[in-house]
Structure 1
Amino acid sequence: MKTSFYNVNAESFYNDTVAVDLSPLYDLFLPLLAPSGHIIDAGCGSGRDSLYFLQHGFAVSAFDASERLVEKASALTGLDVELNTFEHFRTEKLADGIWACASLLHVASNALPAAFTNLSKNLKDGGYLYCSFKYGNDDVERGGRYFTNADESRLTMFIKHTRLHMVKTWITADARPDRQDEKWLNAILVKGNRNEP
């Protein structure tokens, strides 16, 4: 995962994303979790979502792979945001939910199964993981950034050898006003064996 883009462009990225309203996504994810449950904000970027979760009574752990965004998210939220990656992050307190909004798409497609496997190790049995990808089935590099796109079948392949299973997928337009034409795959996954109720 390349972080140089986000270190160089941290200020503009922060300003472009920190005020984006994702209430419709929060409203689908948060009711699945226990009140005041523990959420890991995986690839937290500006810290926008972590701040929202804190304001709504959740315990939050957050990490990002960009040093500059770790600094900015820490300042915004008051959290000790950790500099780490999807493949290596570990917590002693397993999460009720993991939030990976528009973040896993920057992991190379051949590394995504390992990223999902590691994230699932940080999630309680019966816990939920939200993730989103630009809709498609290819890998692209644009403007100095790498994107792994995903549709439903590609996401299924990424999680095939984990204990994560799809609960729900849906398509949305980009929440930023200037990018309404971009489509996103949203997914809620649950951790558990296939034969579990």
Structure 2
Amino acid sequence: MLKLVVLISGGGSNLRSLLEASEDAEFPARVVAIGADRDADGLAHAEEFGIPSFVVPYTSYPDRESWGDALLEQIRLWEPDLVILSGLMRLLPERVVEALSPQLINTHPAYLPEFPGAHGVRDALAAGVTETGASVIVVDTGVDSGPIISRQRVAILPNDTESTLHDRIKLVERELLVQAVLDIANGTIDLKELAS
């Protein structure tokens, strides 16, 4: 059974999909803890599903490195097999990535390597392209530049706004994430091999 720690900043819709998937006794992974960098709405899922949670507020630390060290300390308490960034809106310090990688994955609302960064959906709309996508990647020390685990195209409709497009991308992201966790747990995907 793969032990997961999931890190969030917002509502945690991808997290919820994982929690729902893991309610199936056959699903080979369990979320053992949920962490956040602020008092995130998604922590309500932890309460609802009876999962322990922790908050390491970014604003309580003098810099990103000391915040990262405190976050890493919390993560390590749970001895996870896999750490998932699920809408964590902060770049992890390099030494945190290096300590956890390649057992550190992230979802991104674009068909990487297209439109990396915090505004993937907005950037795709601004570029006037007809399709974008969703990706699951191994986190490295760059910005959305790690090895791609899976990705899928999502069409951009003529009347799409950032919100409507993002909502459709999230549906695909959730499916990709649950499948990626399943494949990692079953050994179909070898993160060490992928990252080498």
- TM-score w.r.t. the length of structure 2 is 0.42
Query: Could you say which structure has the higher helix fraction?
Result: 2
The structure in which a higher percent of residues are strand is: 1
With the length of structure 1 as denominator, give the TM-score of the two structures. Answer: 0.42
